[in-house]
Each structure stands twice: as C-alpha cells, then as structure tokens.
C-alpha cells in the first residue's frame, strides 16, 4: 500500500481500535482512577501476577459523535492542560512512593497532538509537555510505551518516553500532522503524500532512527480489537519479563543515554576533530538579514511634516524604518526612521514607539555578553556530521542552501562560553536568522555538548529561546530533540548547576515545550509570543485566538498563580520575571550572582544535608 493509503485507511481509520478497547482486553481487573477528561485514561491492573499502571491517550470513537456539539468539538483526542496536569500529578505520586521494584508503567499513545486551544495555552500547556518529558525520564519505575495509532507531535512525546518503546506496524508517529507539514513546507496542504514521505513517521523509520525498539504486527483488517490486543499482549508480556530482570537504577541511567543518542546516525568525517577547531567571532554589529536599510544621502533625509516634529535627520549613515509605509500610513510599526547604529545599540527597539524587532543570535550576544568575552563552541558541526547522506532529502538540501549567508553562524543554535557582568556562563542561543531557530539534530547535539561543557567547567547554563519549534524537514528525528535537550538539562540539574532560560519573541513549538520551559529561572522579554502552537495555526484549525493571552505579560500574571494552585501546576512556575532587553544582562547577572553565592555556601554542589551535619556535629561522631 502507498503511504497515503495506509494513513487514510488504517492509521486514521475511525473504526481503528482505541486505547480503551486494548485495555479492556489486556486486563480483567483494570481499576480506572477516574480522571476527568475525554482523552485520558489512568488506572492499574494485573497481567498474570504482574502489576501494571496504565496511562493512555484515547481518540474518539464513532459512537461518541451523537450531537452537533460532538461533531463540532475541535480537540477530540488531544490532551488538554487539565489532563496533562493529572498525568503529571500521577507521575509525581509514583515518584514520591517509589522506587517501584514490583510494578511497571505502560503508556498507550494515540493522539492527533496536544490540545492547541486557547484554554490550554492559557494554562501553560507547553510547560506541562516539557515537565512530562522530564517526569517520564526520571520516574522510578520500569516503563513501556506503545504507539497504537497516530502519534502527533509533542502531545504524543509527552507520554512516549520509556525504557522500552514499541509501535504498531501500521501506526505513524510524526513531528506534525501531514496536512500542516505540507502547508508549511510546500505551501500546499493537499500534498499530504509528499509530507508523509518527508516526515519519516512509519514504523520502519521509527525503528531505524531508534525512536522505538520494537514493531508490533498489525492485524489483517483494521477493525480487529481482539487481534490487536493479542499482539500488544504478546509484546507487553515479553517486555515485562525482560524489564523485571534488569536493575531499575541501570534502566534510569540508560533513559538519559538513549535520549543523548537520538538523531545522531553518523558521526561524519573528522567529527571529533572539527568540533574543536573553532574561530571565535568578534564583530556582531551588522544589519540583520530581515531589516530593510534606507540609505541616507549626504545631504540628509527630510521627514514630512506629519512625522514627529518635522525635523530633518542629518545622517549620512544607513537608516532603518520602524515597520513599513502603505498608502502613506505606517503599518507594523510607527514608521520612524532611525540610524542603523542607534537601532542596533538599542537592541533593535524603536526609540519612538518601543516596537521590538526579533533579535538574531548576534543581537542577543550584544544584549548579554561582556565585550571580548564571547567564544563560540562546536561551531563547525553540520547536519552531514550527524545524519547519513541518504537521510537528507533534496527538499532539505535546498532549504539548507537558502540559509547560507543569512547569518554569521552555521546553524540554528549558537553554543559558547562568555562572561555576563563578570560571571562565567555557558550560552545556548537560538539563531532565529537560521531556519527560524528551528530545532534539528545539530541543535540537539550542540545543546547536549554545551551542557556537558558546563558540567565539566562547573559553570551555569544560560539559554535564549527564539524559535519556531522543531525543524519539519528532518521529520521525526527533529521531534526527538525535545527529549534530548530535556535529558541534557536533567544531567545539569543532577550536577547541581543552574539553568537560566530567557524566553524571547517568539518562543513556540517544540522549543518552549522542552528545554526552554525548564529553567530554574525563566525570564521573558515584554510581549514575547510564548505558546506551543502559534496563533496562525490555531486560527487555521478553527480555534478562537486571543494573541495577547499568550504573550509574556499575560502569561507572567498566570504564572504568579501557580503558587496558589500547586495541586494543578505541580512543579511548574512558568515565567518568573518579564525583563526589558536593556535590563536583561543585569537581571541574568543577578541570578548568576545568587547561584554563585549559594554554591560557595555549599548548598548547590553538594547539597544542604552534609553541610548541616558538619555544622551540628563538627567532631563527626
């Protein structure tokens, strides 16, 4: 069968068995924990003598579409922030009562994706996804996951991380729904088959890229819950026996190691040598690629009487205009003309109206870093160092060629070490000028190496998120970089080193739903768009949009309520502080100083218990 036929007639077949059908046939004593929501099941049961906890995503069944309201419901089969909250609370309880040496946790994945409604966005949906990935990486119980039907984006990934991972043969697991991917890459939503090819979402691809370990056979006909449940049972029983023979602490360590290797299919020629041959960049003051220059002749530029106070700008240097002029009126800005040098020194903030231009990596380096202290790390790494040549399709090659020359940097993540007001730190900076700061295999690998460098040096990590999310051209391996970056931050946490996350405009997609949401301190610039799914996509899918509600100022107010709603938000605190660009370096330095003082007091690196014991009992008796 063609990919498009498999997708339409099997993967998305409305009669395909759902998670509840499989659970009913796997367990005779299943006890539902009674969660609230249409798309989530949490419970426990036994297979033989083996106790198994279950977390499952539930797509709707045809019988559930009884009324017009049922038909018009847009987020069927998508976990809301409320449902993610219940999963996170359940995992936290397992962690508190664990380790579990005599039980297992099974996740059943079947979803179009996470809920993208404004309801969930206002409730920090992206932060829930990031914290769920971390929770699954660290929960002290042996874990299994099965992609039953459709695995959609971060909504699936939030439950799929496990010690053993399987996919049903005719299921698909993708970075984005094929319709959305086609609309973004080809500008044609009808090219679903081409999108499926690029997404590398079939069971064969998932096994090849080590997203799963096993493939569970499909049934002859799609509507065969007994047959599919039997195939799943065979895999679960065999896998459970295998896991129970392994030591739990070793499995926990292997989860992080498995995440480290996601997306690295080839080390490339001279990989280990190239990444140490680096040349630091020293000059950052240049016009960003998407800032239009207006050359000012030597005689000066006269501004019309209806602009400002009607003065004459006497500059011979290039100018930039805030926004555009259409039909004689300013749009997307106030229309002011500002000398380029002044504009760059103001960190691309219009002095007239305060409109902020999206900063590239050069701009953020100038915002944060002490002059002369910046040194780039792992500069020479490319996609060809990590992916085999046959895994890079022509669409992707052409896309990468278009990115050349747009920036001083060679990829969408800039790793470096520098000082910020004299405090040493390792930097991980999204480069929005390269592919919109999208997360691909190079992004994930450089982030991992930056964390390793921070641990080796004992320095804090500062991340700047300015990204549109996962790089769709790389297919499923790009989605896996969410897990990889979260695992890297877990190692940083265990080393007792802080992570300060700066959420710039925009912070969206897989970036905000992974590493960017996990800062010990999360700072955001004013009016930054911070949301898992962008407003344009929400609107195209039929959801109501209130863009102001997913800007940093509104989300910071919601974040302040997390302390009073700990039963709902758990460890999530959202945005701690909204900081203007000119003040950002000082705000970061404030927290770096705080962490340094704490470390000198031995509260960070070694923990507080040994310190208290020595203070209370100096003799050591």
The confidence band for 524, taking pLDDT boundaries of 50, 70 and 90, is very high
In angstroms, the CA 611 to CA 616 distance is 9
Up-side HSE of residue 613: CA atoms within 13 Å toward CB?
7
Task: Kindly state the average pLDDT of the residues 149-158.
Answer: 93
Task: Kindly state the average pLDDT of the residues 226-230.
Answer: 97
The confidence band for 316, taking pLDDT boundaries of 50, 70 and 90, is low
Does the structure show a pLDDT above 50 at 306?
Answer: no
C-alpha to C-alpha distances, 449 to 103, 232, 269, 415, 446, nearest whole angstrom: 35, 37, 18, 9, 5
Give the least confident one: 132-136, 342-346, 396-400. Answer: 342-346
Domains 3-62+75-259 and 361-600 share a fold: yes
**What pLDDT is recorded for position 308?**
38
**Residues 398 and 375: beta-carbon distance below 8 Å:** no
In angstroms, the CA 300 to CA 342 distance is 16
**What pLDDT is recorded for position 302?**
35
**What pLDDT is recorded for position 47?**
94
Does the structure show a pLDDT above 70 at 297?
Answer: no
The architecture CATH gives domain 3-62+75-259: Alpha-Beta Complex (3.90)
In angstroms, the CA 494 to CA 515 distance is 15
Maximum average pLDDT range among 66-80, 219-233, 395-409? 219-233
More reliable by pLDDT, 617 or 546? 546
Q: Which fold has domain 361-600?
A: 2-enoyl-CoA Hydratase; Chain A, domain 1 (3.90.226)
Q: pLDDT tens across 116-142, in order?
A: 999 999 999 999 999 999 999 999 999
**What pLDDT is recorded for position 57?**
97
Q: pLDDT tens across 322-337, in order?
A: 887 787 788 888 888 8
**What pLDDT is recorded for position 537?**
82
Does the structure show a pLDDT above 90 at 405?
Answer: no
**What pLDDT is recorded for position 311?**
41
**Residues 360 and 407: beta-carbon distance below 8 Å:** yes
Task: Kindly state the average pLDDT of the residues 238-262.
Answer: 95
**What pLDDT is recorded for position 290?**
54
More reliable by pLDDT, 616 or 145? 145
Task: Kindly state the average pLDDT of the residues 408-425.
Answer: 94
**What pLDDT is recorded for position 288?**
56
Does the structure show a pLDDT above 60 at 604?
Answer: no
In angstroms, the CA 163 to CA 604 distance is 30
User: Mean pLDDT of all residues in the chain?
Assistant: 87
Sketch the domain layout of the chain as residue ranges: 3-62+75-259, 293-345, 361-600
Task: Kindly state the average pLDDT of the residues 366-383.
Answer: 91
The confidence band for 354, taking pLDDT boundaries of 50, 70 and 90, is confident
DSSP state for residue 324 in the 8-state scheme: E
Does the structure show a pLDDT above 50 at 303?
Answer: no
Task: Kindly state the average pLDDT of the residues 32-50.
Answer: 94
Question: How many residues does the structure list for the chain?
Answer: 621
More reliable by pLDDT, 198 or 226? 226
> In sequence order, what DSSP letters do the residues of 251-288 get, joined into one string?
HHHHHHHHHHTTT-----TTHHHHTT---------S--
378's CB contacts (< 8 A; 6+ apart) are 275, 278, 415, 446, 449, 450
Find the radius of gyration of the CA atoms of the chain: 25
CB burial of residue 29 (10 Å; 0-12, 13-18, 19+): exposed
Query: What is this structure's pTM?
Result: 0.89
Does the structure show a pLDDT above 90 at 606?
Answer: no
Tokens of 182: 């086609």
């Amino acid at each position: 069968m063609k990919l498009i036929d498999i997708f339409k007639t099997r993967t998305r077949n409305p009669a395909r068995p759902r998670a509840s059908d499989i659970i009913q046939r796997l367990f005779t004593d299943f006890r539902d924990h009674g969660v609230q929501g249409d798309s989530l099941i949490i419970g426990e049961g036994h297979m033989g003598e083996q106790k198994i906890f279950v977390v499952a995503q539930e797509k709707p069944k045809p019988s559930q579409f009884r009324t017009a309201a049922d038909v018009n419901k847009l987020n069927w089969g998508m976990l809301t922030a409320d449902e993610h909250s219940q999963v996170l609370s359940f995992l936290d309880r397992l962690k508190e009562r664990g380790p579990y040496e005599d039980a297992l946790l099974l996740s059943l994945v079947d979803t179009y994706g996470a809920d993208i409604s404004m309801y969930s966005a206002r409730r920090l949906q992206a932060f829930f996804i990031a914290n769920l990935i971390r929770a699954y990486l660290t929960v002290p119980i042996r874990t299994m996951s099965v992609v039953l039907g459709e695995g959609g984006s971060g909504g699936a990934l939030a439950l799929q991380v496990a010690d053993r991972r399987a996919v049903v043969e005719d299921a698909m697991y993708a970075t984005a729904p094929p319709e959305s991917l086609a609309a973004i890459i080809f500008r044609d939503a009808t090219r679903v088959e081409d999108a499926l090819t690029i997404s590398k979402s079939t069971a064969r691809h998932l096994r090849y890229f080590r997203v799963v370990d096993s493939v569970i056979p499909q049934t002859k006909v799609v509507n065969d819950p007994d047959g599919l449940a039997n195939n799943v049972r065979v895999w679960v029983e065999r896998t459970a026996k295998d896991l129970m023979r392994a030591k739990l602490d070793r499995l926990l360590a292997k989860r992080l190691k498995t995440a480290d290797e996601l997306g690295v299919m080839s080390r490339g020629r001279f990989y280990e040598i190239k990444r140490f041959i680096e040349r630091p960049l020293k000059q950052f003051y240049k016009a960003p690629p998407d800032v239009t220059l207006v050359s000012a002749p030597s005689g000066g530029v006269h501004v019309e009487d209806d602009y400002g106070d009607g003065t004459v700008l006497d500059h011979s240097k290039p100018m930039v205009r805030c926004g555009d002029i259409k039909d004689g009126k300013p749009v997307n800005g106030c229309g002011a003309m500002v000398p380029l040098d002044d504009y760059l020194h103001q960190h691309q903030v219009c002095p007239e109206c305060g409109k902020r231009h999206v900063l590239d990596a050069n701009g953020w380096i100038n915002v944060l870093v002490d002059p002369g202290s910046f040194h780039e790390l792992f500069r020479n790494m490319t996609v060809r160092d990590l992916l085999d040549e046959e895994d890079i399709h022509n669409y992707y090659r052409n896309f990468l060629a278009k990115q050349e020359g747009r920036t001083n940097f060679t990829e969408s993540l800039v790793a470096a070490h520098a000082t910020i007001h004299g405090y040493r730190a390792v930097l991980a900076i999204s480069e929005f000028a390269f592919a919109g700061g999208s997360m691909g295999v190079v992004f994930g690998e450089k982030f991992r190496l930056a964390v390793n460098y921070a641990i080796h040096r004992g320095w804090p990590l500062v991340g700047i998120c300015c990204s549109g999310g996962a790089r769709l051209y790389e297919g499923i391996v790009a989605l896996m970089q969410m897990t990889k970056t979260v695992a890297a931050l877990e190692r940083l946490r265990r080393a007792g080193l802080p992570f300060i996350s700066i959420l710039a405009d925009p912070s969206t997609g897989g970036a905000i739903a992974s590493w960017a949401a996990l800062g010990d301190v999360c700072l955001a610039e004013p009016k930054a768009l911070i949301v898992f799914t962008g407003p344009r996509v929400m609107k195209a899918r039929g959801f109501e949009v209130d863009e102001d509600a997913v800007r940093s100022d509104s989300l910071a107010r919601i974040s302040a309520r997390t302390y009073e709603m700990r039963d709902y938000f758990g460890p999530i605190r959202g945005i701690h502080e909204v900081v203007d660009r000119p003040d950002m370096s000082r705000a970061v330095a404030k927290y770096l100083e705080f962490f340094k003082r704490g470390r000198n007091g031995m509260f960070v690196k070694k923990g507080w218990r040994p310190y208290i014991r020595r203070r209370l009992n100096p003799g050591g008796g």
